[in-house]
């Protein structure tokens, strides 16, 4: 994904990473997140309900910018874009996957966890990426170390990030936003407690004033 004013990295300080078992929860959940100030929503392809969830959010929540996460194949790219995904996120990347994401003409964040992967993406003209799994791969110390030799790379770190640790990431010059799931806790989704989700989303949206 190349830098632009419409960059996913600039929509909100936090991109909720959503795992939905029931597509019927997609629209009320997305509305709660948008109301809380988090319009960019990554629905992961970890469940059978994911494509239906993306399609429902795209159709019924116009203020949401719904994306697909855990995109690991060209088929995932075509299926999610057809469902209405407006951005794509992968945990890692290969040349065929990168080619498919580029061909989709939808913004994308390929996943990286090493310096060599970052350099390889920069060679391919991609300067915005997901840093995953963030905490396990070195966290803020690793990203800070990357910023000096590779200042043109910008990241959305995801994986093990919490409300408490997010501000440390967001303070880094090469971090545009963070991904996390703490504002969509499984018990709140199961209980359909959308008011709680909205409160947690508002708390996350306030991390960058």
CB atoms within 10 A of CB 25: 19
Active-site residue, selected from the candidate residues 21, 42, 123, 144: 42
Angle at which helix 74-83 crosses helix 95-104, to 10 degrees, equals 20
List all residues 6 or more positions away from 135 whose beta carbon is below 8 Å from its beta carbon: 159, 160, 161, 165
Q: How far is CA 29 from CA 22, 24, 79, 94, 155, in A?
A: 11, 9, 22, 32, 26
Report yes or no: 205 and 12 within 8 Å, Cβ to Cβ: yes
Q: How far is CA 88 from CA 65, 84, 140, 167, 207, in A?
A: 11, 11, 23, 24, 24
> Catalytic: 144?
no
> Catalytic: 102?
no
Q: How far is CA 34 from CA 41, 121, 152, in A?
A: 9, 31, 30
Question: Which two structure tokens, joined as six digits, stand for 92?
Answer: 């890692």
Active-site residue, selected from the candidate residues 55, 128, 130, 198: 130
Residues tagged active-site: 42, 130
């Amino acid at each position: 994904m190349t830098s632009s004013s419409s960059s996913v990295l600039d929509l909100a300080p936090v991109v909720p990473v959503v795992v939905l078992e029931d597509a019927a929860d997609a629209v009320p959940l997305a509305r709660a997140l948008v109301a809380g100030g988090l319009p960019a929503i990554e629905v992961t392809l970890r469940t059978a309900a994911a494509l239906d969830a993306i399609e429902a959010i795209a159709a019924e929540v116009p203020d949401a910018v719904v994306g697909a996460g855990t995109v690991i194949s060209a088929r995932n790219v075509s299926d999610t874009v057809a469902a209405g995904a407006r951005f794509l996120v992968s945990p890692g990347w290969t040349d065929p996957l990168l080619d498919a994401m580029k061909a989709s003409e939808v913004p994308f964040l390929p996943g990286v966890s090493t310096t060599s992967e970052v350099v390889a993406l920069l060679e391919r003209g991609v300067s915005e990426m997901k840093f995953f799994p963030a905490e396990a791969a070195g966290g803020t110390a690793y990203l800070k170390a990357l910023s000096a030799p590779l200042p043109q790379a910008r990241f959305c770190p995801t994986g093990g990030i919490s409300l408490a640790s997010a501000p440390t990431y967001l303070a880094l010059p090469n971090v545009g936003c963070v991904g996390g799931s703490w504002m969509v806790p499984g018990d709140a989704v199961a209980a359909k407690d959308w008011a709680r989700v909205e409160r947690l989303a508002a708390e996350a949206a306030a991390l960058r004033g």
